[in-house]
Structure 1
Amino acid sequence: MRAVGAPPAHRRRGEKAESPVHVVSITSLKGGVGKTTVTLGLASAALHAGLRVLVIDLDPHADATTALAVRRGRCIDVGHLLRNARRQRLTDAVAASAWSREQRARVPGTTARLDVVPGSAYSGIFDRPDLGRRDLQRLHRLLTRDPEAAASYDLALIDCPPSLNGLTRIAWTASSGVLLVAEPALFSVAGTERTLRALDLFRREYAPGLRTAGVVANRVRQDSPEQVFRLREMERMFTSLLLRPALVDRPVLAQIQGAAHAVHHWPGADAGRAARDFDAILAGLRGHTEGSGPAEFADAATVPSVLV
């Protein structure tokens, strides 16, 4: 039994095989909303909860790889893994995060660990809008071809680039759920609305079992009347998809990332509050991804638009 809701076991004829690990793509159409920060916070929360976690860094900027203090050794990066998907195995691209060593020092005997498939600019060769179905399945095939390696993790998190081009679609094809990150600001909320519509179309054409794992409101400034207004708008638009709590804009997170540490390992009251918020988002993510069918956004004709 997986600690974080397993993908549905049933499969209709012609559907792709299920991955042995629960895979969640962290997605945002707009850059600069803290998507990688959310990925790192969830990875920290999962490690703290005793899970075996794999982070796949599909963003060509590879910021998650840097913040996770990866020791590459001889492992290849995700771009070359995808380029040579027929010849390579998932384990050829897995590197340990220094966060695991720190967690073992804090909790002797723990089985929790955090590994990373490192990002690279080379993965950008796949970030184009014209990828065919075979190319979109490259990461999924890597996860299903070596089920023993994939099943050694309880949760895989994919940090996607801020676009809906090839890399994000590769991630969605390999995933059982998609988590969207947005700031409570006009253009970010509008981008999230468009992403949900695009996700619904993608689900219908390529991945009928793909679930909408939820929407995270990030970098919320509670002293901003505009952001308070937009947050209430998000509550009306996304209803139960909006995970709680909203993640407050905390300067300490930039400091933690700069030091390449897990938020759960950082001292101080503000870091502790941030860690508890990510614990709650991880719990909410689990609730949204458990179930037997895709959690779909409302029909396009009935979605209240932020642009109206």
Structure 2
Amino acid sequence: MKKASRVMTTMNMRPENMIESSAEKISRQSQLLSAQLQSLRERIYEPNAIKTLKTYTSREVAGLLGIAESTLRQMSLDGEGVIPDRHDNGRRAYTLEQINETREHLARKRPNDALEFLPRRRGSDKLQVIAVANFKGGSAKTTTTVHLAHYLAIAGLRVLALDLDPQASLSAMFGYQPEFDVDENETVYAAIRYDDRRRPIRDVIRKTYFSGIDLIPANLELMEYEHETPQAIADGHGRGDEIFFRRLSSVIREVEADYDVVLIDAPPQLGYLTLGALCAATGLLITIHPAMIDVASMNQFLAMMSDLMYVIEERGGVLKHDFIRYVITRHNPNDGPQVNVVTLLRSLFKEDVLAPAVVETTAIASAGLEKKSLYEMSRGSVGRDTLNRALESVDSVNKEILRHIKEVWGRS
């Protein structure tokens, strides 16, 4: 960002008849686009350009909690638990924060069913750190991450979403435009950098509009870690928690008690940041669009990743994930070649390929244009049947991932 400012200053000082350099042209176009994106955001999220989450009806809340709607209504009448707002038509409207408060109330009231109402980890349950990775564009890596984060939060879990991708797509989904909203030393780079400007990870964690989810945003400064690590290794930062592949897991441990799940949106390349994510992770999700060119690309990704994992293990790193699963995304079940690819993957990787797949749908594309997940879309924003089919697909994938998490915690 400082470099861009210097370029713009140079442009302002340049005589009018001097030809614009490529660096200056790209910088100018980047700033024009940034300004336009900021303007669009202000129009979409009026009046304060801040994202907000929809409210839930009594029927939706009862379904999420697994209780009868009449029970929820009676709780409200008796003043038991939270008191929801009411629309002009008299219908009750619950925020997600109120739903989570109701979960906690029911867990206290019915201790035998506490885990059903509030499935958070407890006692010796291990923090789940799940990295979502692939370096092929279009594999829906960020879309998978944000939908899983929202699903887990709606289920009552405490989630930390860690954007490790300098392109900051996950941050944008949570309403942050990196050029405007994320200043210098406000990404996870601040917590893992090698100099005296290092900060505690708590300093860069932000609350989000989505109750139950905190975020560590990203911006281009994350690339500094890729540039500085070779020199840091040469300077002796190569032992214990100081070695590059342990730094991320070390800082995550500082906030371990605050969360049930940490979701890492890994960069789309196998650099030092991605290796740190792989070492910090207890679970790994590899997203794959079922087209042969994408599968060929993923094969190269897996080959390079395995080679680097061996190097890390030789340096004393421990890479034992509780689960590694391939997530089929953007799947068209009516497309013959795609079906063949999915069949191939399932025959090769067996149960490591999640049984459900995320179908290709205009609903996810429409939600993405508004920087939303399907869980944020209001009824009527897209066709009811289209939205329901899309939600059913995404729910089935996320439910299966949650099942794996619960199995690690010793729950059926």
* TM-score higher than 0.5: yes
- Partner Cα separation in structure 2 for residue 232 and residue 151 of structure 1: 41
TM-score by length of 1: 0.76
Pick from 169, 178, 192: which aligns with 1:82?
192
Given residue 190 of structure 1, which amino acid in structure 2 is its aligned partner? A
1:139 aligns with 2:258: no
1:91 aligns with 2:202: yes
Q: CA deviation at 1:29?
A: 2.8
1:114 aligns with 2:213: yes
More helix by share: 2
- Partner Cα separation in structure 1 for residue 210 and residue 127 of structure 2: 21
Cα 1:255–1:28 change in 2 (3 A) is: same
1:248 aligns with 2:331: no
RMSD: 3.1
Instruction: Tell me, yes or no, if the aligned pair for 2:283 and 2:322 is still in contact at 8 Å.
Output: yes
Cα 1:228–1:127 change in 2 (3 A) is: farther
- For 1:98, what is the secondary structure of its paired residue? coil
- For 1:23, what is the secondary structure of its paired residue? strand
- For 2:130, what is the secondary structure of its paired residue? strand
- For 1:260, what is the secondary structure of its paired residue? coil
- Partner Cα separation in structure 2 for residue 85 and residue 141 of structure 1: 16
- Partner Cα separation in structure 1 for residue 318 and residue 300 of structure 2: 18
Which residue of the partner structure matches residue 36 of structure 1?
A: 142
Q: Deviations over 1:208-262 (max 9, x none)?
A: 3224430001111223221111111111121100112111111221221232333
Instruction: Tell me, yes or no, if the aligned pair for 1:4 and 1:155 is still in contact at 8 Å.
Output: no
Q: Deviations over 1:9-59 (max 9, x none)?
A: 8xxxxxxxxxx6310000013122111111111112111211111110001
Q: How does 1:8-27 map to 2 (within 5 A)?
A: 21-27=127-133
Cα 1:85–1:136 change in 2 (3 A) is: farther
- For 1:209, what is the secondary structure of its paired residue? coil
- Partner Cα separation in structure 2 for residue 85 and residue 214 of structure 1: 36
Q: CA deviation at 1:277?
A: 2.7
Q: How does 1:1-308 map to 2 (within 5 A)?
A: 3=119, 21-70=127-176, 76-83=186-193, 87-100=198-211, 113-127=212-226, 134-144=243-253, 146=254, 149-201=255-307, 202=309, 205=313, 206-266=317-377, 267=379, 268-288=384-404, 290-291=407-408
Cα 1:186–1:52 change in 2 (3 A) is: same
- Partner Cα separation in structure 1 for residue 195 and residue 133 of structure 2: 23
Q: CA deviation at 1:116?
A: 0.7
Instruction: Tell me, yes or no, if the aligned pair for 1:252 and 1:270 is still in contact at 8 Å.
Output: yes
Structure 2: 5+ residue stretches without partners = 1-114
Cα 1:175–1:226 change in 2 (3 A) is: same
Given residue 214 of structure 2, which amino acid in structure 1 is its aligned partner? D
Cα 1:225–1:171 change in 2 (3 A) is: same
Deviating runs (4+, > 6 A) in structure 1? none
Given residue 142 of structure 1, which amino acid in structure 2 is its aligned partner? V
Q: CA deviation at 1:90?
A: 1.7
- Partner Cα separation in structure 1 for residue 323 and residue 175 of structure 2: 30
Q: CA deviation at 1:291?
A: 4.8
Instruction: Tell me, yes or no, if the aligned pair for 1:178 and 1:213 is still in contact at 8 Å.
Output: yes
Structure 1: 5+ residue stretches without partners = 10-19, 101-112, 293-308
- Partner Cα separation in structure 2 for residue 73 and residue 62 of structure 1: 10
TM-score by length of 2: 0.58
- Partner Cα separation in structure 2 for residue 200 and residue 291 of structure 1: 24
- Partner Cα separation in structure 1 for residue 210 and residue 402 of structure 2: 22
- Partner Cα separation in structure 2 for residue 23 and residue 46 of structure 1: 13
Which moved further from structure 2: 271-280 or 59-68? Answer: 271-280
- Partner Cα separation in structure 2 for residue 138 and residue 161 of structure 1: 16
Q: CA deviation at 1:99?
A: 2.5
Instruction: Tell me, yes or no, if the aligned pair for 1:99 and 1:261 is still in contact at 8 Å.
Output: no
Work out the percentage of aligned pairs sharing the same amino acid. Answer: 25
Q: Deviations over 1:116-162 (max 9, x none)?
A: 10011111123479585511222111112x2xx32211111000111
Instruction: Tell me, yes or no, if the aligned pair for 1:264 and 1:271 is still in contact at 8 Å.
Output: no
